[in-house]
Amino acid sequence: MQIGVIGINYKSADLTLRENIARVSSRRFDGQAPHFGMSYVLLSTCNRTEIYFCSTDLPCTHSYLLAVLREEIPTIEFEHRLYSYFGEDCFFHLARVTAGMDSALIGETEIQGQVKGAYVSAARLMPLDAELHFLFQKCLKIAKGVRSSFLLARGMPSLEETILRASKNVLGEFHNQSILFFGISDINQKIFSCFKSKGHRNITFCNRSFDKAIKIAEREKIQALPWHERQRWIYYDLVIFGTKAPDFVISNQGISLAFSKQYLLIDLSVPRNVDPRIGRLPGVTLINIDQINRGINRKKKIKVQALSRIEAQYIAHAVSKQMVVFHRKQQFRYFQTSA
């Protein structure tokens, strides 16, 4: 199976390097096949950027991808932070990722939708090799089986619960305080639902597409803020960022914060949406995705033994089984073409 992956994630690199890799990857691997004989799927989330590729010459293509990253990020030594897998190891890695077993939040379900979305988007933009179709379709199937057979998330806090707890730590009980969401991403909508279930009603959405913000505001009976008025974030107590913007959504230029007011900004995006210098302003607490992950990791250690058992009992077996299916299909095609 002529497949491979090169990537970086929250375990192998800090936020600064991850956002550099994410920014370069979204710019250079935007759906056009950049290398002869190669097709690929770009998976980019707040915790990982991975390029899954199929090629007749895997070592050459891998070297090409590394060269692109080196060309775009010449001032940072990063190669030792990357990881690469090929063939069945690549298959196993994507199966773990899709099942949520490689996530900061073990068993989280959002990653499965992100993997599917990356695959569907790539298939729309360019012809994918049969190996990539097989890889992603079967990994999505394996992940579904893992979720139906094992309660991976039991005992683990959800991201939205973690954010709610962090908000209370900074702001105290904040039922009457104002909340602003930048972006209507899946994770922002999950956090919104969590806050709403706890009785929070003073909520506003700001999105680049104002029509989408209006739609959710009308449905949920909340407020919408036009994108060009986003600097009005200073009038909110809690601001949560979850957009795909390639650059900062807000900066510290030309803002005047209310005296003695306490602000909490939670930036879940990679690349970051918030200029880190804002976190140094008086009264501002800025939390990024890596800080959220560190809090989660303390709970994560108790799941390690269960994860190892699931890998041995289910995922490894499922991947091996699908590899046999793939090779049988390849042999059948060979006999058909040679007959």
Is 139 in the active site? no
Q: Give the C-alpha distances (Å, rounded to integers) separating 23 from 27, 247, 270, 286.
A: 6, 9, 8, 21
**Could you tell me the two tokens for 292?**
């959220």
Across the beta sheet with 284-288, what order do the strands follow? 223-226, 203-207, 179-182, 238-241, 263-267, 284-288
Phi/psi of residue 39, nearest 5 degrees = -130, 155
Q: Is 316 exposed, middle or buried (0-12, 13-18, 19+ CB in 10 A)?
A: middle
Cis peptide leading into residue 127 (ω within 30°): no
Among 46, 54, 90, 206, the one annotated catalytic: 46
Q: Mark 257-271 as b/e (b = at least 16 C-beta within 10 Å).
A: eeeeeebbbbbbbbb
Give the active site residues: 46
